[in-house]
Structure 1
Amino acid sequence: MVIDAEGKRLLSQRVANDEATLLKLISTVATMADGGEVTWAIDLNAGGAALLITLLIAADQRLLYIPGRTVHHASGSYRGEGKTDAKDAAVIADQARMRRDLQPLRPGDDIAVELRILTSRRTDLVADRTRTINRLRAQLLEYFPALERAFDYSTSKAALLLLTGYQTPDGLRRAGAARLAAWLGKRKARNADAVAAKALQAAHAQHTVIPGQQLAAAMVARLARR
Structure 2
Amino acid sequence: METEGINVFIGIDAGKSEHWATALSRNGRKVLDKALPNNEDWLRALYEKLATHGSLLVVVPARHHRGPGSGGDPGHGHHLGYLPRLSMRRIADLTPGSTKTDTRDTAIIASAARTMPHTLSAINTSDENAAALSMLTDLDPDPARQINQTKGRIRGLYTQIHPALEAAPDPWLEHDAVPEVIAA
CA distance in structure 2 between the partners assigned to 1:117 and 1:44 by the alignment:
8
Q: 1:76 aligns with which of 76, 79, 93?
A: 93
Write the letter of the residue equivalent to 1:95.
A
Query: What TM-score comes out, normalization by structure 1 length?
Result: 0.43
Q: Does 1:14 align with 2:42?
A: no
Q: Judging changes above 3 Å, is the alpha-carbon distance between structure 1 residues 75 and 27 closer, same or farther for their aligned structure 2 residues? A: same
Task: Tell whether the 8 Å contact from 2:58 to 2:80 is kept in structure 1 after alignment.
Answer: yes
Q: 2:123 aligns with which of 105, 129, 133?
A: 105
Output aligned runs, 1:2-81, within 5 Å: 2-31=23-52, 33=53, 36-44=54-62, 46=64, 49-50=66-67, 52-57=69-74, 59-81=76-98
Write the letter of the residue equivalent to 2:123.
L
Q: CA deviation at 1:69?
A: 2.1
CA distance in structure 2 between the partners assigned to 1:105 and 1:62 by the alignment:
8
Q: CA deviation at 1:104?
A: 1.2
Task: Tell whether the 8 Å contact from 1:26 to 1:56 is kept in structure 2 after alignment.
Answer: no
CA distance in structure 1 between the partners assigned to 2:112 and 2:77 by the alignment:
21
Q: Judging changes above 3 Å, is the alpha-carbon distance between structure 1 residues 116 and 104 closer, same or farther for their aligned structure 2 residues? A: closer
1:29-64 CA-to-partner distances (Å, cap 9, x unmatched) read 112x1xx332221113657x4353142435241222
Q: CA deviation at 1:6?
A: 2.3
Gap runs ≥5 in structure 1: 124-226
Bigger-Rg structure (1/2):
1
CA distance in structure 1 between the partners assigned to 2:102 and 2:84 by the alignment:
15
Q: Does 1:96 align with 2:113?
A: yes
- How many residue pairs get aligned? The number is 117
Higher relative contact order (CA 8 A, sep 6+): 2
Q: Judging changes above 3 Å, is the alpha-carbon distance between structure 1 residues 24 and 79 closer, same or farther for their aligned structure 2 residues? A: same
Percent of paired sites with the same residue: 22
SS of the residue aligned with 2:108?
helix
Q: Name the Cα RMSD after superposition.
A: 3.1
Q: Judging changes above 3 Å, is the alpha-carbon distance between structure 1 residues 77 and 110 closer, same or farther for their aligned structure 2 residues? A: closer
Task: Tell whether the 8 Å contact from 1:63 to 1:105 is kept in structure 2 after alignment.
Answer: yes
CA distance in structure 2 between the partners assigned to 1:51 and 1:20 by the alignment:
11
Bigger fraction of residues in strand: 2
Output aligned runs, 1:43-192, within 5 Å: 43-44=61-62, 46=64, 49-50=66-67, 52-57=69-74, 59-101=76-118, 102-108=120-126, 113=131
SS of the residue aligned with 2:95?
coil
Task: Tell whether the 8 Å contact from 2:73 to 2:125 is kept in structure 1 after alignment.
Answer: no
